[in-house]
């Protein structure tokens, strides 16, 4: 099944985008500056009279609001061929902030400012049943955190090659070197924001979120051992969510490395499953 989806991506990736990309800035009080983001609007946005589900897309370390551009033509084609319903995509810039409140308050900016702005400006399904989150690499860390901590806001979450460690991050990780989790690195701050602690908040709220988890089998390998390798950590997360806690989740490990060669096919399947979960579960 996955091989068929990959072939579909290779075929449709050359098709011209029919949707519209809107470049915007938000005057953020949380960040105390102007904050850039982009919005993908489907081709029928101005004519359908409908409201659209929204997927927030979080980029990796050092990228920006333009980083998700490789998937716009994929989404447009999935809509064109009836694989998914039309959807709005929102891609903010998070620089190297791991999408948490630290040197800058990216988490508060997303939750308190960006989501209300998008629901106020666009024809969205302004409820958790119409709102999803996804991220790759560093953005996978942020998307998983939001899906767990803010289950009242999101019904589905997809993470690709996520920068996850169920314990401490390895030496050399940007989690240690960029000052986001303390300068010098503070293990207490890391533990507070890391997903095992976020999972406790998810379980306390009892809102069901669907998780799609994927990585490449040729991803970065750390010399300190398998516990720091991306695909290993990805499987550990899936085991905990689905096998131990019975949280709805899907796992995919596919061939290739830490790049769009992995993220594009994973996203293609993930968006279909997220939107199907939204439809099947009739989230409110």
Task: Give the pLDDT of residue 87.
Answer: 98
CA-to-CA distance for 181 and 160, rounded, in angstroms?
Answer: 22
Q: Distance between CA 282 and CA 269 in Å, rounded?
A: 20
Q: How far is it, in rounded angstroms, from Cα 274 to Cα 87?
A: 11
Write down the pTM of the prediction: 0.92
Distance CA(107)–CA(180), nearest Å, equals 12
- pLDDT computed for residue 153 by the predictor: 98
Return the biggest CA–CA distance within the chain. 55
Question: Which residues have CB under 8 Å from 55's CB, separation 6+?
Answer: 87, 88, 89, 90, 132, 133, 134, 271, 274
Per-residue pLDDT at 226: 81
User: Each residue of 246-265: pLDDT tens digit?
Assistant: 999 999 999 999 999 999 99
Split the chain (284 residues) into runs of 10 and give each run's mean pLDDT.
36 56 97 97 96 98 95 96 97 96 97 98 97 98 98 98 93 90 96 97 96 94 80 96 98 96 98 91 59
Q: What is the pLDDT of residue 58?
A: 98
Return the pLDDT at 212: 98
- Sketch out the chain's domains with CATH numbers: 2-281 (3.40.50.1820)
């Amino acid at each position: 099944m996955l091989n068929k989806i990959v072939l579909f991506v290779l075929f449709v990736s050359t098709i011209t985008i029919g949707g519209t990309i809107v470049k915007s800035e938000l005057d953020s009080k949380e960040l105390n500056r102007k904050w850039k983001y982009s919005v993908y609007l489907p081709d029928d946005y101005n004519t359908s009279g409908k409201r659209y589900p929204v997927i927030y897309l979080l980029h990796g370390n050092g990228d920006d609001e333009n980083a998700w551009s490789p998937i716009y033509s994929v989404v447009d084609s999935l809509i064109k061929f009836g694989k998914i319903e039309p959807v709005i995509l929102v891609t903010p810039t998070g620089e190297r902030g791991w999408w948490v409140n630290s040197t800058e308050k990216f988490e508060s900016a997303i939750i308190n400012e960006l989501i209300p702005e998008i629901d106020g400006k666009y024809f969205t399904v302004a409820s958790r049943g119409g709102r999803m989150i996804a991220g790759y690499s560093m953005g996978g860390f942020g998307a998983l955190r939001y899906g767990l901590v803010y289950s009242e806001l999101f019904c589905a979450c997809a993470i690709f090659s996520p920068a996850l460690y169920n314990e401490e991050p390895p030496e050399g990780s940007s989690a240690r070197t960029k000052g986001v989790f303390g300068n010098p690195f503070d293990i207490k701050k890391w533990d507070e924001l890391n997903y095992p602690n976020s999972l406790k908040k998810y379980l306390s709220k009892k809102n069901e979120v669907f998780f799609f988890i994927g990585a490449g089998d040729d991803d970065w390998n750390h010399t300190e051992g398998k516990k720091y390798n991306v695909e290993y950590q990805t499987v550990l997360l899936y085991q905990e969510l689905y096998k131990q806690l019975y949280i709805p989740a899907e796992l995919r490990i596919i061939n290739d490395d830490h790049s769009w060669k992995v993220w594009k096919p994973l996203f293609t399947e993930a968006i279909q499953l997220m939107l199907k979960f939204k439809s099947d579960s009739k989230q409110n």
